[in-house]
Amino acid sequence: METGAEKKKRAKRIMTILQKLYPKAQTALHFNSPLEILIATILSAQCTDKRVNQVTPSLFQRFPNVQAYATAELEEIEELIKTTGFFRNKAKNIRSCCLQLIENHGGEVPQSLAELIALPGVGRKTANVVLGEAFDIPGITVDTHVGRLSRRLGFSIHLDPVKVEKDLMAIIPESNWVSFNHWLIFHGRAICHSRKPDCDNCAITKHCPKIITSKLAKPKKRNNQPKIKQNQAK
Ligand code: SF4
């Protein structure tokens, strides 16, 4: 079984390769301030970054600060974010979140995980994105790509994002947390797809135990035999 030290060494080799592959890996969301990345990340739940980037220019222009969101009619926010899905909930969360920023944080986006996750619509994942992108505070954001690749790479056996986050934090040096996140997301989108990972063309294949892949590759057992009632079998 691989020791913690061996895992760290393997992670280092993987990072060196991914860094070369994705030198410009960064969030695809467009933003110019902590508030904008907070709003964009709330909108990105169950939605692609591309679609979020389509709605945020008009949204950010109409609502340039927390006061504008906090005093807005919900319908107006809803209309502007409609195409991102779950727009009613998102609009409600955005307005409540901005109200709380005014009431509890002097209108500023706070810089701690605990304060961020106390805001409406802000989970651990969103909070880590905001901390990393807006304030350069390292954190690991376990989205669907990061979770999947971490399991395939043998860095975590967990499905729970918080547990995956802890496993990764123990293996990856803090200075690489934000970049590592982006590298896994880019690699997940480009090569290590959820249904069909392209292991033959993967630059890190020799460092990857392909843990979930081997399980996925197994054909599902089908029991086509007619069921025999217990009393008939006797
Ligand atoms: S070798 Fe396969 S499972 Fe491992 S990271 Fe590459 S594509 Fe994903």
> Is 8 exposed, middle or buried (CB count within 10 Å of its CB: 0-12, 13-18, 19+)?
middle
Specify the residue with its C-alpha closest to ligand 1, atom 1: 205
Whether 125 is a known active-site residue: answer yes
Q: Which residue is associated with the tokens 């135990």?
A: 209
- Check if the beta carbon of residue 171 is closer than 8 Å to that of residue 8: yes
Instruction: Report the pLDDT value the prediction gives residue 25, as an integer from 0 to 100.
Output: 85
Cα separation, 98 vs 226, in Å, equals: 60
DSSP-assigned letters across all residues of the chain: ---HHHHHHHHHHHHHHHHHH-TT----S--SSHHHHHHHHHHTTTS-HHHHHHHHHHHHHH--SHHHHHTS-HHHHHHHHGGGSSHHHHHHHHHHHHHHHHHHHTTSPP-SHHHHHTSTT--HHHHHHHHHHHH--------HHHHHHHHHTTS---SSHHHHHHHHHHHS-GGGHHHHHHHHHHHHHHTS-SSS--GGG-TTGGG---HHHHHHHSPPP---SPPPPHHHH-
Residue 175, token pair as written in the block: 């200075």
The CATH number, out of the four listed (1.10.340.30, 2.40.50.140, 1.10.580.10, 1.10.3470.10), of the domain defined by the range 34-135: 1.10.340.30
Specify the residue with its C-alpha closest to ligand 1, atom 3: 210
| 47 Cα–ligand 1 center, Å | 25
φ/ψ (deg, to 5) at 63: -120, 85
Cα separation, 109 vs 168, in Å, equals: 26
pTM summary value: 0.79
Instruction: Report the pLDDT value the prediction gives residue 214, as an integer from 0 to 100.
Output: 46
CATH topology of domain 4-25+141-213: Endonuclease Iii, domain 2 (1.10.1670)
In the chain, which segments carry CATH 1.10.1670.10?
Answer: 4-25+141-213
Cα separation, 82 vs 58, in Å, equals: 12
User: Which residue ranges in the chain fall short of pLDDT 50?
Assistant: 213-214, 216-234
Which numbered atom of ligand 1 lies nearest the CA of 213?
3
Which numbered atom of ligand 1 lies nearest the CA of 208?
4
DSSP-assigned letters across all residues of 140-203: ----HHHHHHHHHTTS---SSHHHHHHHHHHHS-GGGHHHHHHHHHHHHHHTS-SSS--GGG-T
Instruction: Report the pLDDT value the prediction gives residue 87, as an integer from 0 to 100.
Output: 97
CB within 6 Å of ligand 1 — which residues?
149, 152-153, 191-192, 197-199, 202, 204-205, 208, 210, 213
Among 146, 191, 206, 207, residue to substitute to test ligand 1 (most atoms within 8 Å of Cβ): 191
In the chain, which segments carry CATH 1.10.340.30?
Answer: 34-135
| 43 Cα–ligand 1 center, Å | 29
Whether 143 is a known active-site residue: answer yes
